[in-house]
Structure 1
Amino acid sequence: MRIAVIGAGALGGLFATLLARAGHEITVTAHQAARSVIEDNGIRITGGFGDAQCRVLVREVLTETPDLTLICTKAQDATAAISENADLLDGSPVIVVQNGLDGVSTAGQLLPHSDCFGLLTLTAAHYMGPGRVRVTTAASSYLGRGSGQTDAATQRWQAVLATAFPTLAADNFVGAQWTKLVVNMLNALPAITGLSVQAVIGSAPLRRILTASMQETVQVGVARGVTFGSLQSLTDRNLRVFGRLPVALAQSLPLRMGAKMGPVTNLGSTLQSIKRAHLTEIDHLNGAVVREAGLAGRAVPVNTLLTTLVHEVEVTRNFLKPADVLARFEELTDDR
């Protein structure tokens, strides 16, 4: 099958390689600097899914219509990436591999004649450089669309992806996006401090902030009428319980997440963007919680400040010491 992967970052490089290893004909799009490296050396992955290297076609934009396309850009880059390939993509199936809540709806608006799906992945991958990806945590991915039961088209493409990497068809995909948004609260504090996800979870004061951001996310989802989708051990029932717990007890959730990551350092995708001097997708993560909270008439001070601090680091390129982060949150408490 001819499969295009738009975006050759950590997940794009990973999925392109795994799909090529499964026997599919792969084309990736990449910017000039990465394109020349991939043309010369291919894409190489190491870590959780084993070591593999593949040769793929590399283009600035697509030159023919594929049988299937994976959109693997950051959320803030999706509109531009889809738009510049829209003439060839509109009418063919598209899978959006992105964090946040808006990826599938954005693709549907730009490609009105395409079947559009979303893919949520709990795999953690580290972009080592053009054409080089290290998988720090190998996990399943979840394919779906809408709020109902999976349909025949979803099941068909799930079967295709599952030949290359563990993929499940997800009922209530919109709810699953909210569940993944809770998980993605792991990203902000590493981007602010420069610490790994494991180090943030290992710091009791930072872990309390992380936990509070997760609880705010759950509380906003409940206020917006969301039924959380099931991802691994996270369900609507236990997330609702988590959202009501005292922070001291609720910290068990990020602690369990940290234990599942294992010892290999996980930087988180937002910190990786900072290190590459790229803008982050924080407005689609913690910023999405802020936006949804506004629609629900709620205040989310923890997620609001985390969003602000990530934007500050984007500008200054200077990480904050944990003590300085805690001081900013103490100011927040004093103001209240």
Structure 2
Amino acid sequence: MRIGIIGAGALGGMFAALFARAGHDVEATARGAGLAAIREGGIRLSGGYGSTHAIIAANETLTVRPDLVLLCTKAQDGEAALAANADVIDGVPVVVVQNGLEGVDTAARLLPRSTCYGLLSIVAANYTEPGVVRVTATAQSYLGRGDGEPDAECTRLAAVLSDAIPVIAIPGFRGAQWTKLTVNMLNAVPAIVGQSVQEVIADRGLRRVVTASMRECVRVGIARGVRFGTLQGLDDRMLRRLARSPLRVAQAVPRRLAARMGDVPNLGSTQQSLRRGQPTEIDFLNGAVVREASLARVDAPVNAALVALVHEVERGGYLPRERVLAVLGG
């Protein structure tokens, strides 16, 4: 099968290398130093899915019509990347591998002849050097769209994607997106203070801020009528209990998530963007909570404050933990 990967960063580079290893014909898009590195030396993958060195075609946009497309850019780059490749990929099945809530709808709007699905990946992958990806934690990934049962095409694509990593087709994808969004509340605080997720969760004060952002995310989802999907050991019952719990009790959830990451320091995707000198996707993570809260006519002050702090870090570098603790008033 000919597979196009739009955005050969951490997850995109991982998928490109693993699909090439499985014998598929892969073309990936990249820019700048990443594109130059892939053209010169391919993609070197190590970690949880083993080591491989994949030599693949790489260009700024896809040059040959693929049989399947994976959109793996950061959420803020997705619309522009799809528009740049639309002439080649409209009518081709598209799998959106992005954080946030909006990617599948954006793809369907820009590619009216394509069938578009979302993939929720909990795989942790570091991409801090062009052309080099290290998988620090493996996990099942979840394919779907909307609120209904997976259709036959979704099931077929899950089998194809499983040539790279384990993927299952799931019902109630929108609810699972909200659960993933809650998990992604682990990103902002590490990015602000320049520490790993594990270090942040080990810090009592910072852990309280992370917990508050997760609890607020779930409360907004409930206000929007969401039934949360099962993901990363979390489910609708557990998250609704999180929404009702005081912070001292609710902290068990981020502790559990950090423990699942193991001992290898997890920087989170937001901090990885900062270390590469790139804009983060914070407006599609904590910022998505703020937008959804506005639609539900409720407030999301914790997440609004974290969005502002991450943008401050983008402009001037890491901030002291006291700035984060001030989110909760001291």
Give the structure-1-normalised TM-score. 0.96
- Give the residue type in structure 2 aligned to 1:9: G
* Superposition map of 1:164-313 within 5 A: 164-313=164-313
**Residue pair 1:128, 1:134 contacting (<8 A) in 2 also:** no
Cα pair distance change 1:115/1:199, threshold 3 Å: same
**Residue pair 2:128, 2:275 contacting (<8 A) in 1 also:** no
Counterpart in the other structure of 1:5: 5
Return the alpha-carbon distance in structure 2 between the equivalents of residues 232 and 328 of structure 1: 27
- Give the residue type in structure 1 aligned to 2:152: A
Counterpart in the other structure of 2:48: 48
**Residue pair 1:6, 1:30 contacting (<8 A) in 2 also:** yes
**Residue pair 2:14, 2:133 contacting (<8 A) in 1 also:** yes
1:192-236 deviations in Å (ceiling 9; x for gaps): 100111011000000001001000000000000011111132111
**Residue pair 1:147, 1:171 contacting (<8 A) in 2 also:** yes
Q: What secondary structure sits across from 1:85 in the alignment?
A: helix
Q: What secondary structure sits across from 2:306 in the alignment?
A: helix
Return the alpha-carbon distance in structure 1 between the equivalents of residues 262 and 196 of structure 2: 12
- Give the residue type in structure 1 aligned to 2:79: T
Counterpart in the other structure of 2:132: 132
Return the alpha-carbon distance in structure 2 between the equivalents of residues 38 and 281 of structure 1: 24
1:86-109 deviations in Å (ceiling 9; x for gaps): 011111100000000000000000
- Give the residue type in structure 1 aligned to 2:41: N
Q: What secondary structure sits across from 1:128 in the alignment?
A: strand
Counterpart in the other structure of 2:111: 111
**Residue pair 2:302, 2:327 contacting (<8 A) in 1 also:** no
Structure 1 runs (4+) greater than 3 angstroms displaced: none
1:44-79 deviations in Å (ceiling 9; x for gaps): 111111111111011111112100000000000001
**Residue pair 2:128, 2:272 contacting (<8 A) in 1 also:** no
Question: Are 2:109 and 1:92 equivalent residues in the alignment?
Answer: no
Return the alpha-carbon distance in structure 1 between the equivalents of residues 296 and 251 of structure 2: 25
Counterpart in the other structure of 1:330: 329
Counterpart in the other structure of 2:69: 69
**Residue pair 2:8, 2:28 contacting (<8 A) in 1 also:** yes
Counterpart in the other structure of 1:334: none
**Residue pair 2:209, 2:324 contacting (<8 A) in 1 also:** no
Counterpart in the other structure of 1:102: 102
**Residue pair 2:10, 2:126 contacting (<8 A) in 1 also:** yes
Q: CA RMSD in A?
A: 1.0
Question: Are 2:151 and 1:144 equivalent residues in the alignment?
Answer: no
**Residue pair 2:128, 2:276 contacting (<8 A) in 1 also:** no
**Residue pair 1:144, 1:154 contacting (<8 A) in 2 also:** yes
Q: What secondary structure sits across from 2:147 in the alignment?
A: coil
Return the alpha-carbon distance in structure 2 between the equivalents of residues 327 and 177 of structure 1: 29
Return the alpha-carbon distance in structure 2 between the equivalents of residues 164 and 15 of structure 1: 6
Return the alpha-carbon distance in structure 2 between the equivalents of residues 249 and 325 of structure 1: 20
Give the structure-2-normalised TM-score. 0.98
Q: How far is 1:328 from its partner?
A: 4.8
Q: How far is 1:32 from its partner?
A: 3.4
Q: What secondary structure sits across from 1:177 in the alignment?
A: helix
Q: How far is 1:275 from its partner?
A: 1.0
Q: How far is 1:33 from its partner?
A: 2.3
**Residue pair 2:232, 2:257 contacting (<8 A) in 1 also:** no
Q: What secondary structure sits across from 1:272 in the alignment?
A: helix
State the identity %: 57
